[in-house]
Amino acid sequence: LSGWVLREGLPALSPKEEPDPRESPAAQQQRLESGCGDIIVVPMHFHDGNVGTLAATNLPSGRSFTQQDLELMMALANQSIIAVDNARLVDSLRQSEEKFSHAFRASPDAMIINTLDDGRFIDANDSFLDIVGYERDEVMGHTISELDIWPHPDKRDAFLSRVAAQGAAHNLEVAFRRKSGEIGVTLLSAEVVELDGQRCLLTIAKDMTERIQAAQERELLIQELDAFARTVAHDLKSPLSPILGYADLLLSDSGTLSDEARRSFVQIIADSAKRMGNIINELLLLARMRQGEVQARPLNMASIVDDALSRLDYMIKEYGAQVVVADAWPPALGYSAWVAEVWVNYVSNALKYGGRPPRIELGADVLPDRTPRFWVRDNGEGLSPEQQAQLFTPFTQFRAIHVEGHGLGLSIVRRIVEKLSGEVGVESAPGQGSLFYFTLPPVPPGDERPNSHPEAV
């Protein structure tokens, strides 16, 4: 009988007194042997389909079922299926809450729940606490304004008003303040939700600080490289012209030039070739810098300094400079080719901007924490505090005069030294010359043997 009810979707009332054609003979015999009386079977509808039946029987000695009993069974079936559906919904809701709770806790992005009226924290995941630097008990129960997470209250209030009015806001770039006071940037998405009958604000925040800083660093480096490329293109023309000019003179000479003139022309060609070689070395250095990290090794600083001065020999002679070099150097870790370029840049700047004639000292000392510090001191005009503040930044030029020369520029030198875990700086005063320095990591005890630095040659 249940099969017929399911198939037809109709209720069935089968009295005990007469055979029911909807039942098979076997089912009728089983019914007689079991002592059942009347039977009512009603379908249980769920949405557009039947999911089961609800059946009732009485004893043969009992009263017969009536149409009113059938209607009561139909009502009971409807209530039963509603109860089953509610149970399913409750179970589904519980599972959804468990999934949300797990996603909330495990999310790599910051997630917080605040009351909509006053912005009080109801919950926050660990990612949020890590980003802002607060402990959980410092956050829960407090408002956003009390924690001073949002450095611009007017923008905070405008954001909250917008979310409250529109119900949501997505992908807004917003500044935030960590507990340490450091300012960062986050990408916010927020939506109004209802929790336990209260309107709340669910916010997801992605910390964009490092990504934005990296993008700014890349843009700055591109600008520096563009400026350097323009300088290199100009500087390459300068030594190339005398090479071609004097080479033509030597080739066209019919014996009228003296030996002294020939030697002078060859020396000019050699000096110009050295200038071009320095520019090419710096271009190769920039290419290697962009390829990634290098392995720092103990340095043979005396040999590196000799190489740098040899590359600048033509400038030293041109300016008639006196160069004084220290007798000993403290052990340090670094990459020889990069350190050589730092020396070339510092010394070439000292030659260009030093006294007339320049007097340059190259030396080193060791700071109290064992950090070796290397420096170049000149006898130039010195720098004011305002000028020193602009050093090691892109596109800085201190004098209106144009002195021929190339050089990586102090901003890229700073990048080199910082990539070697060191620092750059200057000590100067007007009329007292300048001392440009850079530090490098010290060599661990027992590992002072320097490398041969073939890459610096």
Q: Give the rounded percent of residues in the chain with a pLDDT score beyond 70.
A: 87
Closest by CA position to 104, among listed 78, 90, 125: 125
Return d(Cα 251, Cα 231) in angstroms, integer. 31
SS (H, E, C) the chain: CHHHHHHHCCCEEECCCCCCCCCCHHHHHHHHHHCCCCEEEEEEEECCEEEEEEEEECCCCCCCCCHHHHHHHHHHHHHHHHHHHHHHHHHHHHHHHHHHHHHHHHCCCEEEEEECCCCEEEEECHHHHHHHCCCHHHHCCCEHHHHCCCCCHHHHHHHHHHHHHHCEEEEEEEEEECCCCCEEEEEEEEEEEEECCEEEEEEEEEECHHHHHHHHHHHHHHHHHHHHHHHHHHHHHHHHHHHHHHHHHHHHCCCCCCHHHHHHHHHHHHHHHHHHHHHHHHHHHHHHHCCCCCCCEECCHHHHHHHHHHHCHHHHHHHCCEEEECCCCCCEEECHHHHHHHHHHHHHHHHHHCCCCCEEEEEEEECCCCCEEEEEECCCCCCCHHHHHHCCCCCCCCCCCCCCCCCCCHHHHHHHHHHCCCCEEEEECCCCCEEEEEECCECCCCCCCCCCCHHHC
Model confidence at 439: pLDDT above 90: yes
Which two tokens mark 228? 């350097």
Lowest-confidence segment of 4-13, 19-28, 375-384 by average pLDDT: 19-28
Return d(Cα 33, Cα 196) in angstroms, integer. 56
Range ranked top by mean pLDDT from 4-13, 210-219, 372-381: 372-381
Q: What are phi and psi of 123, to 5 degrees?
A: -155, 155
Per the CB < 8 A criterion, the answer to whether 136 and 129 are in contact is: yes
| Res 455: pLDDT | 40
Q: What are phi and psi of 362, to 5 degrees?
A: -115, 125
Per the CB < 8 A criterion, the answer to whether 6 and 46 are in contact is: no
Is the pLDDT higher at 227 or at 296? 296
| Res 237: pLDDT | 67
| Res 412: pLDDT | 76
Per the CB < 8 A criterion, the answer to whether 366 and 372 are in contact is: yes
Return d(Cα 378, Cα 426) in angstroms, integer. 11
| Res 393: pLDDT | 66
The pLDDT tens digits of the residues spanning 335-362 come to: 888 898 899 889 999 998 889 999 999 9
The pLDDT tens digits of the residues spanning 212-254 come to: 888 887 787 677 667 666 666 666 666 777 888 888 888 888 8
Return d(Cα 230, Cα 290) in angstroms, integer. 19
Model confidence at 378: pLDDT above 90: yes
The pLDDT tens digits of the residues spanning 73-98 come to: 998 988 888 888 777 777 777 777 77
Please calculate the CA angle 245-250-254 and round it to the nearest 5 degrees.
130
| Res 88: pLDDT | 78
Per the CB < 8 A criterion, the answer to whether 274 and 406 are in contact is: no
Per-residue pLDDT band for 255 (boundaries 50, 70, 90) equals confident
Per the CB < 8 A criterion, the answer to whether 122 and 201 are in contact is: no
**Which residue type is seen at 336?**
S
Per the CB < 8 A criterion, the answer to whether 359 and 377 are in contact is: no
| Res 350: pLDDT | 93
